[in-house]
Amino acid sequence: MQITVLKESEAGESRVALIPDHIKKLTALKATVAIESGAGVQAGASDEAYTAAGATVSHNRAALLESADVLLVVNRLRAEEVVSLKKGATVIGFLKPLDEPAALKPLIDRGVTAFAMEMIPRSTIAQKMDALSSQASLAGYAAVILGAERLNRVLPMMTTPAGTIAPSKVFVIGAGVAGLQAIATARRLGAHVEAFDVRPEVEEQIKSLGARFVKVDLGQTSGTAQGYAKQLTEEQLEKQREVMARQCAQSDLVITTAQVFGRKAPIILTTPMIEGMKPGSVVVDTAIETGGNVECAKFNEEIFVNGVRVIGIPQLARHVPVHASQMYSSNLVSLIEHAFDKETGNIKQNADDDILRSCLIIRNHELINETVKSRMS
């Protein structure tokens, strides 16, 4: 079994699917590992490091594609390159099956097996494979660092000869993985932090990080079985926005992380709410890739609205590619070890357990995941 890793071709991508430290785990499975030259440079992994770890490094991207039994990717392969894969090859990575299901057609037509890392279930046994959570945690950290750098004031309280500087006020909307990491990071930097989530059960988690939980009476709300927030009604969203408007007006840095798995992100902050904030304030919308939580946010842009900087940069984990790649590589290797068939020496292609049943989406020219199928129509 040859496991192949290419240099990512998507604009702005700095991560790599496999780091040298994890190659020995794959060669222990009797697999060979082939890497495209330069694939890990931005993530701090040189060609020499891959070679020293036991991988073969090549400049021939086309030959690597054609010889791959298992292709590990961060982002979905370009459609024009899918035709170079051998039939029956396995592709594992972020494939955007719910956001862009129609783009899966080249993989279906080619007859490859595809595992989507987005579909890994949030269960205890699958935790070490949960790439969405890994990247979301880093995105929450990067959002605070980015917002702090853009802010026109310092975050911590400081006692100086000129007097005491009050701490900046940070408001985090959404207390999932990204939100909790944003709260923790802002607190470490000395900010006064407040946070909100529609799921009342996360109140204790927010408080345990030293932040104040902002309560909004939305009636009955709870998370899904996998820990994601459920979609709110329009009436609940309106109640939420009333409180959010007051909270944002007194905040210096606002970070939105609210997402509903497999759906467009809800609009939480309207343009008038942004206009009501103090000039010089900063808003970072980490949900911009799925539509965004901020009405006026622009994809991959930083704009000013009445003196408020609104940042809509996607994939914030790319800002810390060394650790983002380290975590993602670990997630991929854990999945391969879980799915490896010792008898055949290859990746299992049958959905014989909960994890594989969730993330195996394409097999034998057919889209087999029912959730993804429902989005194709």
Q: What are phi and psi of 192, to 5 degrees?
A: -85, 120
Distance separating alpha carbons of residues 217 and 352, to the nearest angstrom: 43
Tell me what pLDDT residue 229 has: 52
Tell me what pLDDT residue 62 has: 96
- In tens digits, the chain (377 residues) has pLDDT values of 999 999 999 999 999 999 999 999 999 999 999 999 999 999 999 999 999 999 999 999 999 999 999 999 999 999 999 999 999 999 999 999 998 999 999 999 999 999 999 999 988 899 999 999 999 999 999 999 999 999 999 999 999 999 999 999 999 999 999 999 999 999 999 999 999 998 888 999 999 999 999 988 766 555 455 545 566 677 877 777 888 999 999 999 999 999 888 789 999 999 999 999 999 999 999 999 999 999 999 999 999 999 999 999 999 999 999 999 999 999 999 999 999 988 888 888 776 788 998 999 999 999 998 888 888 76
- Decide if 100 contacts 204 (C-beta within 8 A): no
Residues of the chain with CATH 3.40.50.720: 2-119+321-362, 132-319
Three-class DSSP category at 305: strand
Tell me what pLDDT residue 343 has: 81
- Decide if 229 contacts 201 (C-beta within 8 A): no
Tell me what pLDDT residue 79 has: 93
* CATH number, span 132-319: 3.40.50.720
Q: Residue 300's Cα: distance from chain center in Å?
A: 15
Distance separating alpha carbons of residues 150 and 63, to the nearest angstrom: 44
Strand ranges (DSSP E) for the chain?
2-5, 32-36, 56-58, 70-75, 90-94, 113-116, 158-160, 163-165, 169-173, 192-196, 212-213, 253-256, 282-285, 302-305, 308-311, 340-341, 346-347, 360-363, 366-367
- The residue with tokens 């590992």 is 33
- Decide if 340 contacts 347 (C-beta within 8 A): yes
pTM of the model: 0.92
Tell me what pLDDT residue 192 has: 98
Residue-wise pLDDT for 344-368, tens only, equals 888 887 767 889 989 999 999 999 9
Strand ranges (DSSP E) for 294-367?
302-305, 308-311, 340-341, 346-347, 360-363, 366-367
Q: What is the DSSP letter of 33?
A: E
List residues with catalytic annotation. 122, 127, 130, 133, 228
Q: Domain 2-119+321-362: what homologous superfamily?
A: NAD(P)-binding Rossmann-like Domain (3.40.50.720)
Distance separating alpha carbons of residues 167 and 370, to the nearest angstrom: 49
Tell me what pLDDT residue 158 has: 95
